[in-house]
Structure 1
Amino acid sequence: MLDHGSIDDGVADAAVREADWKELHWRLRSLAQQRVALEAEEASYLVEAEDTHLYKRLGYSTMAEYMERELHYGPHAANERLRVARELIELPLIAEQFRAGELCFSAVRELTRVATPATEEAFLAKAHNKTARDVERMVSGLKRGDAPDAEPDLKLIKKRVVLEVSNEVAERFRRARAALDKERGERVTDNDVLDILLRWNEGATGEVPRPVVQIAVTTCKTCKRSFVGAGEPIEIDPATAARLSCDAEHIGDLESDAPTRVKPTIPAAIRRKVFHRDSFACVVPGCRARRNLDVHHVVHRKDGGNHSMAQICVLCSGHHQQLHLGRLVISGRAPDLTFEWRPDDDVESATTSPPWDYEDDPPIVRTSVRS
């Protein structure tokens, strides 16, 4: 049995442990604030070091090389640290909270992507008591100059996917990507490469490709917003929703109990004839793509278009997305079509990079006539 003394000792030990965990917590918090304060101090020194070309005195050709060798940063981290340090010069309120240890570097990094001197106070107010991950979500889809409560642009929201592969697979991937670049006549994006892989897996291949949409796209009848995915649906931008609905299978109203038959956007017989007429290739002049193909209504159905052969053509996924983003306009009656490119600084490029005219020059117009 425990005697009176051992009970007292146990109580004392518990009291010590109680004090210890509180002390441990505050020490860790103190170290975190010191670390952030040091990162803020480093940011100011980085600007000075770059402006005075410190790196050249040590034989380095760039500031990034100096940071990689002397400060042990990776290339991407070095460039991000320099970018943030430069941005903080114009954002004194964010810089002040960074120096005070109230904002960690990860949160500062995200805020400096979108905040301006006119909006930084509002962003700081909204970021108060948020984690770095919360701040990242808060600014996702916003561009520099937007207010914190602005409607996010879904085209600007990106997800990072990291793959670890063997040397052999990495080399095969490099060669496959080079082949895609050659087929498209330009450098394809990471998004394009993954989209092509997913299309292959989803069965959008074969002599006459099936409608490419093999995932569920749900569009609200009231607000017209569209979502994909299961569990936690992800919103997609209107241009992507319009592109997917061009060549899909519709299952009907999800709020109705009435059974409905699956109905393709374009009748299978018409799709087959269109693919044969267009030689199983994208009809855009100069495009050599023969895979990842969609069919598109030259005149949208909502604008009075129909399923006639003259109103439908074959497009690669890249040009199809460009069209729905408003950067490519197709008119005429297939197969005699006119293609017009309209550069727009507010719209992200999807996969094509036509030779844009600048300033007040008229848009480039090219015509494709197929016999």
Structure 2
Amino acid sequence: MFDGADPASLSDEALESRVLGHAAQITSLTAEFLSLVAELDDRQSWRGPGIHSLAHWLSWKAGVSQRTAQEQVRVAKALRELPLIRQKFREGRLTYSKVRALTRVATPLREKELVNLALSCTASQLERAVRAMGQIDRGHGEGGGLVPPAESWGRCKWNLDGSLSVSMTLTPLDAARFLAGAVRAEYERTRTGEDPDLPSVSRNTPEELETESGEKDSEVKPANRRDLWRNVPSNLAPAVVAMAGMVHDGIAMPELAPGAEILIHSGESVEHAHLDDGPALSDAELAEARCGSVTRKALSRKVPGRPGKLALLGLGRKQRAPSKAMIRALFLRDRCCQTPGCGRTRHLHAHHVVLWSAGGETELDNLILLCGTCHRALHRGEFSITGHGQQRFSFHRPGGSVIEASPSTRAPGLWQPDSKITADATVPVGGGKLDLGYATEVIYAVWEWRERSALQASTAA
């Protein structure tokens, strides 16, 4: 039980014991949490207005990120078929980090060896082992055939210092296209007046110069900048920025395309110039952005008590459809479907809260963004929206109760630790000292022997 002791008053031994003990308790509770998530998935009782998946529901109700919720649902589903891993998880022996890794490669026939491995190594060691196993498994499919790699994917995030981090994993062919594009962009970025528009060797680019045997001809080289054409730049960032600039300048876009524009908020009503939904810009960066750019102004004023909200002159009852300027302001204000728990950013509708047919006006105080699914649910009476003026809205269930945008995750009552979970349950057997290469070799040998034995038994029968 919690005794309310001040951590600063504990001895080193007591402090270490409590840290490990709480880690074991958290592990056991996480196992119970995921078993409940799996049951919730079976019952489908999470469904409701604006909720498109169980991960959406967890993100809204449990206060976790969408990506974390998606991974929790994946692990919860995978554990249904893995009783041994599930048991060790509930005992606090396998942490969530280890279970999350194991569920990527575990099967009912494999889990015994994988559990023994996981109990004897650290979470980072297990991650490395699982990555290696994944590569081995992907290398050979049924019948020993080559299995294609997973689809390309990527993500980006703004850092605290205002920089942007981009992470991508590409299939071999996509990677080759990306690197070839980077080489071309680097040539264009650094080209001088003496360089031709295109290499002048039979009008072919380097990747098209092949011998009859299918191998690249090392004797045929572009006459100019041969080193640049032959090598991928060591620093890809300038080339990627150049690639983005070429696409930005060369591809037309629709009138309203918030994600494809470089939108900067500045002016007297803005304390610091900043990218839309992004970091602040220095005076030098602002001047660079303005130099040679096409600019558009959005006439707006601050709404009292509503930081960041735009108040734009509306159309009243003169026109039902919002103007382009109003649609732009609406996207800047809402950014996504406003139904609590939804958050979709594509195929959005500008909805009149007080219907146009009921006398509602085309003003930002009466307009809100909804995705197609939520818009349909609204008109079916699954929930309702009330406008409170100054661009404030609330969502209500059919009975009238408010749908909270960010519900509390605090559970009633006091948590009592499980006395059956030992304080050192999460500590690896042997202190985490393990030869992962040897362990992986032994594990695969056991699995291959088991498969051969099963094949021989089926043949004899």
Q: State the TM-score, normalizing by the size of structure 1.
A: 0.42
Q: Select the structure with the greater relative contact order (CA < 8 A; seq sep ≥ 6).
A: 2
